[in-house]
Amino acid sequence: MSVRAEPLARRRIYLVRHAEVSYFDAQGQPLDPRQVPLTERGRQQAASAGSLLADIRFDLAVCSGLPRTEGTARQILNGRDLPLHADPRLQEIRGGRLREIPREIREHTIAYAYDGAEQPGARFIGGEPWSEFAMRVNQAWEQLIARDDWQNLLIVAHDAVNRVLLGQIIGCGLGGLKSFEQDPACINIIEADIDAATIQRAFIRTLNLTAYDLIRPNQQLTVMEKVWRDYRS
């Protein structure tokens, strides 16, 4: 077996989910997810993530361009002299209209929205097809990996976006999405050996770390179970 004369350059990706938002108004009606800002608690969560990452020298920072990722990213960057780039391909998967889902399957469709994502023709809550979503997210990822201007990369994105990227790293595909919880403002750390603009080897150093509540002893609901509860309320 041949041995490389030079080791591959190992780079680090800090993949963060945006902090807490509210997707529903006081009457339980859905808000436009493209416009929802961070809640006060969300701003505190993002600030906690920023404190944990305060000493990291980011070379490149990217978000999806939606207010909740931009707000989280700016809290983390905390005045660093570094541009924040927006890539709309990293926006969250688009769901369908909740009121169009038959009542008898509404809970299952929302609370278990990641189950069956790998099935042919599967859509997220009756909206965007999972296969098309994964394609656009992976295109953005591949272009970021191909860039040679970073050693430490910050990506602030969304629950399903992060799951797709984490699934890409471990090779589980869409079938593994339901197993990755991504709590608000969580931090994932990915190490990647990159050569010829492609990842030759990668591993997950840290998964779903919430700086504001490290072991989350009082959080037993999944992300989507909480969405269902908030909607039902």
| pLDDT tens-digit readout, 184-232 | 999 999 999 999 999 999 999 999 999 999 999 999 999 999 999 998 8
Spell out a b/e string for 122-143, using b for 16 or more CB atoms within 10 Å of the CB, else e. Answer: ebbbeebbbeebbebbeebbee
d(CA 142, CA 199): 9
Give me the tens of pLDDT residue by residue for the chain, a chain 233 residues long: 444 545 578 999 999 999 999 999 888 788 999 999 999 999 999 999 999 999 999 999 999 999 999 999 999 999 999 999 999 999 999 999 998 999 999 999 999 999 999 999 999 999 999 999 999 999 999 999 999 999 999 999 999 999 999 999 999 999 999 999 999 999 999 999 999 999 999 999 999 999 999 999 999 999 999 999 998 87
Q: What is the pLDDT of residue 6?
A: 56
d(CA 52, CA 223): 23
Containing H/E element for 207?
A: strand 198-209
Strand order in the sheet with 198-209: 84-86, 60-63, 152-157, 9-17, 187-195, 198-209
Q: Which two tokens stand for residue 177?
A: 């999405």
Alpha helices in the chain (DSSP H): 40-52, 67-77, 103-111, 130-146, 159-170, 223-232
Q: What is the pLDDT of residue 74?
A: 98
CA nearest neighbour of 209 among 190, 233, 228, 231: 190
Tokens 């593994």 correspond to: 176
Q: What is the pLDDT of residue 7?
A: 58
Helix axis angle, 40-52 relative to 67-77, nearest 10°?
40
Residue 93 class from Cβ within 10 Å (0-12 exposed, 13-18 middle, 19+ buried)? Answer: buried
Spell out a b/e string for 209-227, using b for 16 or more CB atoms within 10 Å of the CB, else e. Answer: bbbbeeeeeeeeebbbeeb
CATH no. of 9-24+31-93+128-216: 3.40.50.1240
CA separation, residue 27 to residues 8, 24, 105, 231 (Å):
54, 8, 21, 9
Q: What is the pLDDT of residue 37?
A: 96
d(CA 125, CA 27): 21
Q: For the chain, first and last CA: distance in Å? A: 61
d(CA 48, CA 185): 9
Q: What is the pLDDT of residue 4?
A: 52
